[in-house]
Structure 1
Amino acid sequence: MARPTPLSGFPEWLPQQRIVEQEILSRIQKTFELNGFAGIETRAVEPLDQLLRKGETSKEVYVLSRLQAGDEDSHSDRSLGLHFDLTVPFARYVIENAGKLDFPFKRYQIQKVWRGERPQEGRFREFYQADIDVVGAGELPYHYEVDLPLVMAQALNSLQPLGVPAFKILVNNRRVAEGFYRGIGLTDIDAVLRNIDKIDKIGAQRVAALIVNEAGATTEQAQLCLDLAALHGSDQSVINDARALAQRAGVDNDLFTQGITELSTLLEAAAQRAPGVIEANLKIARGLDYYTGSVYESVLIGHEDLGSICSGGRYDTLASDGKNTYPGVGLSIGVSRLVSRLISKQLVTASRSVPTAVLVAVTDEATRHQSDAIAQALRSRGVSTDVSPTAAKYGKQIKFADKRGIPFVWFPASTTDGEDHPHQVKDIRTGEQHNALPETWLPPACDLTPQVTSTET
């Protein structure tokens, strides 16, 4: 068989790297559950018309088809696509199961998604997302727009002992932006938001030109939009600056007032519950038009070039069956993007490449069954154990364990020259060796499972 060519955009980690990913997923899941979120998983495919509701282009969706599809089912298959995020599947899930769910419904979902975009660092065609959402039936109190980014802050904080860099969650409120734009006389709000979202990519002056050309703004109106987008800060000074700008621009409407009041509330709560983590940044637009309130993006400090690792916002009409509406707020961590940066920059390491804590040596093939029995006794007590593949010299068996990072080698009891030798276990890192019984011995807690730590510690 010829050597296969890797597929770009479909990451496959080595075992030691996979341990890092699994530890990150485990800590995120634990945080979500500690905060009362219930886990669900949705199907991998959705109808294409539903997938495209969010305004994504068809080139980003992988269409489902079968090589051997018959004429009678090829059309139905072509109407399905792999989901490219977890928001649309969750909205559909809520509508289908509304009669069985208790509202407000808090869910987490950790699952792979597929997106047909150009692969580059931190961007993949197949990747893990970790989402939390809370949805209400008919209404959803504003305090959830405060609570959810703080839960995400807690999740990201739980990863910092592993070597994940410090982070900031940047927040804005779509009501602030829309109220301000309408207050200065603009009507094509989506066009303004879509272009404000491009400031970091193409620069403020090019964005101003796009607002003039695509949103019908005057040069003065475009500049006022940029002035609003330039405001940022983690305390109430940014709120005061936004109100002063609105007053100077003649903006006085309920939408702006509601948005700026909500943003102020969020900053006040964040200052008490997660000081220094959340920052108001009024250029954050999240160009998707279904967001209606708070919007969020998160960046790793010192790794801003990676882009947002966690984003989301408030939505009011995404989950609706025409009669009932289920407003919600949610955020999503791009787990694969985060892991790829940790690996590429060698920020994190795992203590070994296998879960195995103990390798049981084999004296000779005739006594392999004894080594198997020792391994089973250790496994029954929760110790991940392997048995040496060959009855080589003990030195070679130790090298086998050392190559994989297995910390302990177990030497079975034996009798030689009429002398009994008890079971012994050796820490091959230190050379310490002592008698032990498989029914009572346990490795230190830090060696029971692979440890994921920062390379700087």
Structure 2
Amino acid sequence: MARTASLSGFPEWLPQERLVELHVLDTLRKTFELHGFSSIETRAVETVGQLLRKGEIDKEVYGLSRLQDDEAPDASTLDKHDPHALALHFDLTVPFARYVVENAGYLAFPFRRYQIQKVWRGERPQEGRAREFTQADIDVVGDGELPFRYDVEIALVIAEALSALPIPDFRLRINNRKLAEGFYRGIGLTDTAGVLRSIDKLEKIGAAKVAELLKSELGASDEQAALALQLASIRTEDTSFVAQVRALGVSDDLLEEGLSELEQVIEAAVHRAPGKVIADLSIARGLDYYTGTVVETVLVGHEQLGSICSGGRYDALASKGNRTFPGVGLSIGVTRLVSRILSQELATASRSVPTAVLVALNDDQSWSAAQDVAAQLRGRGIATEVAAKAEKFGKQIKFADRRGIPFVWFTDDDGKHQVKDIRSGEQVDADPASWAPSAEDLHVRVTTT
């Protein structure tokens, strides 16, 4: 991780680091599939109009065009505001919404999907923020309606998935937009979206500056700003937040609906994922399409990294005629997680290559026989390479050691086989039809350090 990248914001891993990333991806995939989520992949490119339908992040979107376009040879004449222009997707939620609309006739609802893909975002590169990165999303989408119980389930699935990764302890910080918007409405602040955007800046600029924003940009009184900040200060590991909110003396039907929904999520988490979820009423999520549950996740002791998993409920992101497709989903920042795992040496791969065995050559004529041995081992799931040159055995062993291969296979002129563990020096008789390494050596293992 100490090397210098030739192009910042586009991380590339060394082979041993990539094995750690693959372990993270495989773990997430297995967990998602255990809960019945189907894998999809959407195209990397969307139209600008599609990408910018919700939210205001156009400055982060990478446009896409040919270097030489017959219709527009002068790149400076390209219209950046053309809704039909092409751009790389900046998240997986917006492309997924389009996918649902276009394939609604072929999907069984509620549709449970997971998606692990690259995304691109024109941000200033720093630790935890890259311009090209991998996300892992899960969503449940309904046709016309989606029971709230899926909000609870999504949070529990993510808690299980993150618990299986080689990462520090984490907390899912959960709020509800209905709760927040109902509260703001109840104290007389009608621009609830504006209040949410201001509250979303709380951790970056502090309470005093947020109060000034509320007063200068949204016309809040001192009392209204104070109440909004009091709400945002509430954090509990159980359902006691309900009483704390009611103690603020604000009444609103939407507020009550949000309180009830958040209470259900936290109550289930206390039972099924104890210590992993907290009610945090400062969580706002800046994007406009969230309508209910909202989530951000931090690593304990690594809070400065930012959220490593976020998302929530959206009731109107996707629609087709008079049909709407409400959904709830969460997105894990895989690259952000892997970057922290590697930079802090939180986990390491047991070796740098998948190969468990190198078949050595006695002479150049033995290469074909060595391939036969390798084929037998591979046929039983043992990753095997064959030496390329019949060098002295000491050099072939050093080659295996340099590659990180733990075993070297020898066959003498009489056809007798032996395998050497080059870590311990132990060498034993072996049969390519039956020998196998220990379970620990069969595959690369990723362990916490």
Q: TM-score range with shorter-chain normalisation?
A: over 0.9
Q: How does 1:211-226 map to 2 (within 5 A)?
A: 211-226=214-229
Q: How does 1:268-287 map to 2 (within 5 A)?
A: 268-287=267-286
Distance 1:215 1:384 in 2: 63
Kept in 1, the 8 Å contact 2:237–2:279? The answer is yes
CA offsets, 1:321-356, max 9 Å, x none?
242100000000000000000011111110111100
Distance 1:392 1:72 in 2: 59
Q: How does 1:290-301 map to 2 (within 5 A)?
A: 290-301=289-300
Q: How does 1:34-433 map to 2 (within 5 A)?
A: 34-71=34-71, 79-159=85-165, 163-245=166-248, 247=249, 251-414=250-413, 420=414, 422-433=416-427
CA offsets, 1:65-124, max 9 Å, x none?
111222179878970100010000000000001111111000000000000111000100
Q: 1:228 to 1:5 in 2, by over 3 A?
A: closer
Letter in structure 2 aligned against 1:63: G
Distance 2:352 2:242 in 1: 50
When the two chains are superposed, the root-mean-square deviation of aligned CA atoms in Å is 1.5
Letter in structure 2 aligned against 1:342: I
Distance 1:268 1:77 in 2: 44
Moved more, 62-71 or 115-124: 62-71
Distance 1:99 1:312 in 2: 26
Kept in 1, the 8 Å contact 2:298–2:306? The answer is yes
Residue 155 of structure 1: CA displacement? 0.4
Gaps of 5+ in 1: 415-419
Residue 220 of structure 1: CA displacement? 1.1
Kept in 1, the 8 Å contact 2:44–2:88? The answer is yes
SS, match of residue 134 in structure 1: strand
CA offsets, 1:215-271, max 9 Å, x none?
1111110111000000001112222111111x1xxx212100111111111111111
- In the superposition, the TM-score normalised over structure 1's length comes to 0.94
What residue is the counterpart of 2:31 in the other structure? 31
What residue is the counterpart of 2:13 in the other structure? 13
Distance 2:374 2:121 in 1: 44
Distance 1:393 1:78 in 2: 64
Residue 54 of structure 1: CA displacement? 2.1
Letter in structure 2 aligned against 1:453: T
What residue is the counterpart of 1:417 in the other structure? none
Q: 1:291 to 1:77 in 2, by over 3 A?
A: closer
Kept in 2, the 8 Å contact 1:296–1:312? The answer is yes
Kept in 1, the 8 Å contact 2:55–2:289? The answer is no
Sequence identity of aligned pairs in percent?
62
Distance 1:32 1:277 in 2: 18
Residue 5 of structure 1: CA displacement? 6.8
Distance 2:242 2:405 in 1: 55
Distance 1:392 1:293 in 2: 67
Distance 2:286 2:67 in 1: 37
SS, match of residue 128 in structure 1: strand
CA offsets, 1:287-346, max 9 Å, x none?
111111000000001111100000000001101124210000000000000000001111
Distance 1:26 1:5 in 2: 26
Distance 1:445 1:390 in 2: 29
- In the superposition, the TM-score normalised over structure 2's length comes to 0.95
Kept in 1, the 8 Å contact 2:91–2:119? The answer is yes
Q: 1:182 to 1:5 in 2, by over 3 A?
A: closer
Letter in structure 2 aligned against 1:202: I
Distance 2:446 2:52 in 1: 39
Kept in 1, the 8 Å contact 2:47–2:86? The answer is yes
SS, match of residue 179 in structure 1: helix
Kept in 1, the 8 Å contact 2:63–2:88? The answer is yes
Distance 1:312 1:5 in 2: 30
Letter in structure 2 aligned against 1:60: E
Distance 1:198 1:224 in 2: 16
Distance 2:380 2:226 in 1: 68
What residue is the counterpart of 1:436 in the other structure? 430
Kept in 2, the 8 Å contact 1:64–1:78? The answer is no
SS, match of residue 110 in structure 1: strand
SS, match of residue 399 in structure 1: helix
Distance 2:160 2:42 in 1: 25
Distance 1:68 1:377 in 2: 52
SS, match of residue 111 in structure 1: strand
Gaps of 5+ in 2: none
SS, match of residue 53 in structure 1: coil
Among candidates 416, 428, 452, match of residue 446 of structure 2:
452
